Amino acid sequence: MRPRPPVKGRGIFTGTGLIITGLMATLFALIFPLWSYADRSGTGVDVLNAQTVSTQYGPLSALDRDFITKVRLAGLWELPAGQQAQYKGTTPAVRTAGQHLIEGHLFLDERVRDVAVKLGLELPDEPTDQQRQWLGIMDGAQGVDYDRQFANILRLAHGKVFSVVAEVRASTRNSLVRALADDANTTVLDHIKVLEATGYVDFDALARDMAMGDTPPITASPPPPVPLADPRPAIPVAPADPVTPSPSGSYPLPPAAASPPPQAPETS
């Protein structure tokens, strides 16, 4: 038998079909992500909506709740640190910075406890392990070494929280959180200034630490609000020679007092 001659056009039709099929597949691949993105979960807005609860003061997001917790935690370790500086600091500037920490966080702690009660949030009563470690470092330091540890540890911590306060202030939809962020912003900036006024802040080391990137949050996002009792006030740890300020209803901060750091001894 003689072989059947090829059908004219079959090869051309087959090649054209493959090209058309490929183009359609490419077009579908381009369109599918756009179509599926609108329905996907896990986007920033989806997460925000999923973790936000309604209150009479406006929506309360997970970031808002985490911020409230961090304000409370700041007072739980910075109050003892400020009180410690009153009797361990070797210069007037260090002792003044400690006084600012005491007065600022007594004020903020009263504010954050009031906000927590109104929003039904539970607040911690103990500092974190990291904050305990910072207190331990300062507790073991003496003299000029203490002044440097105090100024640099507290300045680094305040620098990190400063950006959190700004983010919350810019994005919150809750009026209580917004007002608390205003107070926290004023207090944190004041503390940054008086810590720098000690003359002990190592700005090169500070810049390196800040450039290392974001650090994991020190708290998990608190749960949604439930009716709770009034949280206990943060109480500074009593030192050997306590200097306890009297709380006031206003927020008068003493003026910052700068003094130059001790000069290094000259070498012959």
Task: List, for residues 150-198, the tens digit of each pLDDT value.
Answer: 999 999 999 889 989 999 999 999 999 999 999 999 999 999 999 999 9
Mean predicted confidence (pLDDT) in 215-225: 47
The three-state secondary structure class of 3 is coil
Please name which of 133, 80, 75, 73 lies closest in space to residue 104, comparing C-alpha atoms. 75
pLDDT the model gives residue 8:
52
Confidence check: pLDDT of 105 > 70: yes
- Copy the structure tokens of residue 258: 């700068």
Question: 251 forms bridges with which residues in the sheet?
Answer: none
> What is the DSSP secondary-structure string of 178-237?
HHHHHHHHHHHHHHHHHHHTTS---HHHHHHHHHT-PPPPSSPPPPPP---PPPPPP-PP
pLDDT the model gives residue 63:
94
Please list, in sequence order, all residues whose beta carbon lies within 8 angstroms of the beta carbon of residue 71, skipping any fewer than 6 positions away. Answer: 108, 111, 112, 180, 184
Predicted model pTM: 0.66
pLDDT the model gives residue 3:
55
Neighbours of 2 (CB within 10 A): 4
Please give the DSSP secondary-structure letter assigned to residue 58: S
Angle at 266 between CA 261 and CA 268, to 5 degrees: 170
Do 138 and 149 meet the contact criterion of CB atoms below 8 Å apart?
yes
The Cα–Cα gap between 250 and 266 comes to: 47
The Cα–Cα gap between 168 and 80 comes to: 26
Do 247 and 110 meet the contact criterion of CB atoms below 8 Å apart?
yes
Do 198 and 261 meet the contact criterion of CB atoms below 8 Å apart?
yes
Q: Which residue has the tokens 């600012």?
A: 100
More confident residue, 214 or 21: 21
Mean predicted confidence (pLDDT) in 90-101: 96
- Copy the structure tokens of residue 193: 């200034």
The Cα–Cα gap between 51 and 60 comes to: 8
pLDDT the model gives residue 248:
39
Q: How confident is the model at residue 250 (pLDDT cuts 50, 70, 90)?
A: very low
The Cα–Cα gap between 94 and 38 comes to: 55
The three-state secondary structure class of 60 is strand
- Copy the structure tokens of residue 67: 């911020």
> What is the DSSP secondary-structure string of 95-159?
HHHHHHHHHHHHHHHHHHHHHHHHHT----SS--HHHHHHHHHHHH--HHHHHHHHHHHHHHHHH
